[in-house]
């Protein structure tokens, strides 16, 4: 099945059958954003997937008709700037995207709408970059409240189109969109579900009917993405943050955790730095790669128990150092509360002139989906070292309310105050930078960044008279 024009068509060999006649430009069976490309002769993708080995397909149809438009100016267009207008729902709008969930039967050609309504203006979410979880009988999807503080894992029985809510998670003030995920395993008998209900993200095991069994990990650290699942030995390999004592909590490590949660999470990637792994074809070995902004890339081969089997050559930066280059400094300073450790990178000119004072420039991305502070080694991330060479001390720190890797309180710190919340931490760090580096001049300060950084600049100018 695919969209043609704005309707749904079924293709059987050389034959095609038109299943619907009610599709239209903002209420199409085609994937949103493709509306203007479609015609009666051109096929387009449709949101959905075949349910296991059945001849039924789960479909999600988006209704954009009541969504308002947004117009922006493309200042790079030639020969003159152009206006671009598209559908975009703003906070507080009454007109938002509506979702219809359908089951299309290839044998009968019939389409049935699923009654999945619970929240006003709810969101229906299915995976974009991986297959929709399903068995031969059931399909699974997420139902999310508009306020993004309640998640429902719904199971649709395609034999009778009934819906059962397996897991309902209340996660105020909002769920962690960057780390949240789930996995349907063993033909629907096991469910792995991510939650930060304890304040730190963990994976939980549920049975196929949505009954909680246990947490996969018990330690106080943030669990991230699951990168490998072994359903026979009932264990996973997952990313983790903040477990290794005395190490930057933003660095990613990888651990083995068992389904029953009775054993401590086992470190598989030793080495002080931010880690990435690649598996051998048979899954028995991993290439463990790690680095920091103050340490170039290291590589080794480890087995599934974390034992180093082979040390690979490291990067050689000697030619750079001979020419006067040096690593930026990774440091930890205190937040405005005087208690929370904030980690960041400090870039200084390679040749400091004695007696000279250098203005401080703070490179910021307040979040909350990320912090844009590089953890792995980059030669000149965000051009900050190049900027420092122009005669500045450039700093890039992860403030409270930025990235999602340090727990719920840290991640949600700026909720309800997305314009100004990083300013106090930025101000506190700048003061400490001036104390730590005698050549840093805190009376001459600039702030730059992406999106939210512009708001911080305005807030700094208005609220802190010694900033400019």
Summarised one tens digit per residue, pLDDT across range 116-156 is 999 999 999 988 767 889 999 999 999 999 999 999 999 99
Angle at 166 between CA 203 and CA 230, to 5 degrees: 40
CB of 217 within 8 A of CB of 253? no
Token reading at 23 = 């599709």
Work out the average pLDDT over 443-465. 57
Work out the average pLDDT over 24-32. 86
Q: How far is residue 379 from each of residues 7, 189, 327, 376, 447, measured CA to CA in Å? A: 50, 47, 9, 10, 22
Cα separation, 355 vs 251, whole angstroms: 36
Residue 458 has pLDDT above 60, yes or no: no
pLDDT above 70 covers what percent of the chain?
A: 94
pLDDT band at 112 (very low <50, low <70, confident <90, very high): very high
Provide the pLDDT for residue 457: 47
Cα separation, 124 vs 289, whole angstroms: 37
Residue 453 has pLDDT above 60, yes or no: no
Burial bucket for residue 178 (CB in 10 Å: 0-12, 13-18, 19+): middle
Look at residue 89 and give its three-state secondary structure.
coil
With b for 16 or more beta-carbon neighbours within 10 A and e for fewer, the 318-339 pattern comes to eeeeeeeeebbebbebebbeee
Residue 35 has pLDDT above 80, yes or no: no
pLDDT band at 423 (very low <50, low <70, confident <90, very high): confident
Other beta carbons within 10 angstroms of residue 89's beta carbon come to: 17
Provide the pLDDT for residue 304: 83
Residue written as token pair 């599709």: 23
Query: What is the tens place of the pLDDT at every residue in 298-356?
Result: 999 998 888 889 999 888 888 888 988 999 999 999 999 999 999 999 999 999 999 99
Q: Which is more confidently placed, 206 or 465?
A: 206
158: Cβ contacts below 8 Å, ≥ 6 apart? 51, 54, 56, 58, 103, 137, 138, 139
What angle do the packed helices 423-436 and 452-463 form, to 10 degrees? 70
Provide the pLDDT for residue 283: 86
Provide the pLDDT for residue 38: 63
Q: Which is more confidently placed, 163 or 43?
A: 163
Q: Which of 145-154, 196-205, 234-243, 413-422 has the lowest mean pLDDT?
A: 413-422
Token reading at 365 = 């991305």
Other beta carbons within 10 angstroms of residue 15's beta carbon come to: 7
Query: Is there a cis peptide before residue 368, judged by omega within 30 degrees of 0?
Result: yes
The whole-model pTM stands at 0.90
Provide the pLDDT for residue 140: 95
Q: Which is more confidently placed, 71 or 31?
A: 71
Query: What is the tens place of the pLDDT at every residue in 160-207?
Result: 999 999 999 999 999 999 999 999 999 999 999 999 999 999 999 999
CA-based end-to-end distance of the chain: 58
Residue written as token pair 């340490």: 295
Cα separation, 304 vs 8, whole angstroms: 47
pLDDT above 90 covers what percent of the chain?
A: 69
Work out the average pLDDT over 11-17. 83
Biggest alpha carbon–alpha carbon distance for the chain: 83
Query: What is the tens place of the pLDDT at every residue in 344-394?
Result: 999 999 999 999 999 999 988 877 888 889 999 988 888 899 999 999 999
């Amino acid at each position: 099945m695919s969209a043609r024009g704005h309707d749904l068509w079924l293709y059987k060999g050389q034959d095609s059958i038109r299943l619907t006649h009610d599709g239209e430009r903002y209420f199409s069976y085609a994937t949103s954003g493709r509306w203007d490309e479609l015609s009666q002769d051109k096929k387009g993708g449709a949101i959905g997937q075949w349910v296991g080995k059945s001849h039924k397909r789960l479909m999600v149809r988006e209704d954009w008709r009541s969504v308002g438009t947004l117009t922006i100016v493309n200042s790079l267009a030639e020969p003159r700037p152009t206006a671009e207008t598209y559908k975009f729902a703003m906070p507080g709008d009454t007109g938002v995207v509506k979702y219809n969930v359908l089951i299309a039967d290839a044998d009968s050609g019939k389409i049935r709408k699923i009654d999945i309504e619970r929240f006003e203006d709810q969101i229906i979410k299915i995976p974009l970059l991986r297959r929709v979880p399903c068995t031969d009988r059931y399909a699974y999807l997420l139902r999310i409240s508009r306020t993004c503080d309640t998640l429902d894992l719904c199971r649709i029985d395609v034999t009778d189109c009934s819906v059962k809510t397996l897991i309902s998670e209340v996660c105020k003030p909002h769920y962690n969109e960057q780390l949240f995920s789930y996995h349907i395993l063993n033909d629907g008998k096991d469910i792995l579900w991510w939650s930060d209900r304890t304040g730190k993200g963990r994976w939980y095991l549920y049975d196929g009917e949505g009954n909680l069994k246990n947490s996969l990990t018990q330690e106080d650290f943030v669990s991230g993405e699951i990168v490998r699942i072994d359903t026979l030995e009932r264990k996973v390999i997952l990313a983790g943050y903040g477990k290794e004592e005395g190490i930057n909590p933003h660095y990613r490590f990888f651990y083995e955790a068992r389904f029953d949660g009775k054993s401590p999470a086992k470190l598989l990637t030793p080495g002080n730095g931010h880690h990435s792994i690649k598996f051998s074809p048979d899954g028995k070995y991993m290439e463990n790669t790690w680095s920091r902004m103050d340490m170039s890339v290291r590589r080794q081969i480890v087995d599934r128990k974390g034992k180093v089997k082979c040390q690979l050559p490291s990067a050689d930066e000697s030619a750079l150092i001979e020419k006067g280059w040096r690593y930026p400094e990774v440091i930890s300073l205190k937040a405005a509360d005087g208690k929370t450790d904030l980690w960041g990178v400090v870039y200084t000119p390679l040749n400091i002139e004695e007696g000279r004072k250098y203005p401080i420039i703070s490179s910021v991305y307040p979040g909350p989906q990320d912090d844009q502070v590089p953890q792995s080694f980059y030669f000149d991330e965000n051009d900050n070292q190049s900027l420092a060479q122009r005669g500045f001390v450039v700093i890039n720190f992860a403030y409270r309310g930025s990235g999602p890797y340090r727990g719920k309180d840290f991640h949600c710190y700026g909720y309800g105050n997305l314009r100004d919340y990083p300013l106090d931490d930025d101000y506190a760090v700048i003061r400490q930078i001036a104390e730590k580096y005698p050549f840093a001049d805190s009376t001459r300060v600039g702030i730059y960044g992406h999106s939210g950084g512009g708001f911080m600049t305005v807030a700094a100018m208005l609220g802190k008279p010694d900033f400019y």
